[in-house]
Amino acid sequence: MGMIILALFLFSYISSATPEGRLLFENHCIRCHAEGSKKPLSLLRKKYRGNPSGVVDLAKRCPWGRGLSDMEIKVIADWLTREE
């Protein structure tokens, strides 16, 4: 029972306070796309706003797609291109 509550808590925490896309971005992308880099997150957000498929296509060019599933790429792309 305790585990179920914990799982529910974690799930709502991840899906609201910390979107999964952001977690994935921090784990897989930020080391090359931090502020101060050539293509910081703020620039990517501006350039790709409302265009998640543009980011998905890039998974093939940018070295980042390796090791990520299609699902993870889509989650990141949706988060990255969403209006904030």
Nearer to ligand HEC, 39 or 82 (CB): 39
39 binds ligand HEC (CB under 6 A): yes
CA angle 38, 44, 67 (to 5 degrees): 85
Q: How far is CA 71 from CA 20, 21, 38, 52, 65, in A?
A: 11, 11, 27, 13, 11
Region near ligand HEC per CB under 6 A, out of 4-12, 15-23, 56-64:
56-64
In this chain, which stretch among 1-9, 12-20, 25-33 interacts with ligand HEC, using CB under 6 A?
Answer: 25-33
In 3D, which of 8, 84, 17, 12 has the Cα closest to residue 48? 84
Binding site for ligand HEC (CB under 6 A): 25, 28-29, 31-33, 39, 44, 47-48, 55, 58, 62-64, 76, 80
